[in-house]
Chain A
Amino acid sequence: GIQVEQSPPDLILQEGANSTLRCNFSDSVNNLQWFHQNPWGQLINLFYIPSGTKQNGRLSATTVATERYSLLYISSSQTTDSGVYFCAVKGGSEKLVFGKGTKLTVNP
């Protein structure tokens, strides 16, 4: 089945810093989503981005489907950005396959 790798596994930033999270996947996909999981476990949708570039406030994402990777950019990070960021893809079936996530800690 399709494999998803996220890097880095852990990231510690000072408030105000910028960061880039990466998601590599092993096969063609027709769905790619980025999520933020808050400390209570809720998965919050950030982007649906099987290809191209999207921006939402301080967050933006780019997926290069032909090269099988996606990037999530966080600018001017805030303490509320802390949590785990997941990339999930859908290939030949209807299930989302998740990576192991990037744990982001933003210190004041």
Chain B
Amino acid sequence: DTGVSQDPRHKITKRGQNVTFRCDPISEHNRLYWYRQTLGQGPEFLTYFQNEAQLEKSRLLSDRFSAERPKGSFSTLEIQRTEQGDSAMYLCASSRPLRYTDTQYFGPGTRLTVL
């Protein structure tokens, strides 16, 4: 169990550019989640996958955001035409719900700064 990994850890970009983040979940975890956290707030849900199917999306996920999990393993989150308001920590989590536990495990996050 190597934990959830995310890449890159930090990203600085200029407004209007596109960025893509990657998340590798814990192996055998069939659920993968994306959250966003801004300064002083708790993480907010963006979207989640069960295997390769994207089953729920938040209203926070505007049409500039797209997420994929093509083979049910790693996932990518792309933000097109970035805006300064997109600056945040983007967190990925994974889980494998069992009868007595449904713990989500979080990665270290990707900190995005839009200049």
Instruction: Report which A residues bind B (CB closer than 8 A).
Output: 4, 30-31, 33, 35, 40-43, 45, 48, 86, 88, 90, 93-101
Select the residue from A31, A40, A41, A43 with max chain B CB neighbours within 10 A: A43
Say yes or no: is B23 at the interface (Cβ < 8 Å to chain A).
no
> Is B103 within 8 A of A42, CB to CB?
no
B: contact size bracket: 20 to 34
> Is B109 within 8 A of A45, CB to CB?
no
- Distance A75 CA – B33 CA, assembled complex (angstroms): 32
List A contacts of B89 (CB < 8 A).
41
CB-based nearest A residue for B41: A100
- Distance A43 CA – B35 CA, assembled complex (angstroms): 12
- Residue from the list B40, B56, B58, B109 in contact with A42, Cβ < 8 A: B109
CB-based nearest B residue for A30: B102
Question: Can you list 10 residue pairs at the A/B interface with Cβ under 8 Å?
Answer: A35-B106, A42-B106, A43-B91, A45-B103, A86-B43, A90-B102, A94-B31, A94-B56, A96-B104, A100-B41
List A contacts of B55 (CB < 8 A).
94
A21 to B: closest C-beta gap in Å: 14
- Distance A49 CA – B29 CA, assembled complex (angstroms): 20
With A41-B108, A41-B111, A45-B106 known, 10 other A-B pairs at CB within 8 A are A40-B108, A41-B109, A86-B42, A88-B43, A96-B33, A96-B45, A96-B93, A98-B44, A100-B41, A100-B42
CB-based nearest B residue for A103: B40
CB-based nearest A residue for B109: A41
List B contacts of A45 (CB < 8 A).
103, 105-106
- Distance A100 CA – B44 CA, assembled complex (angstroms): 10
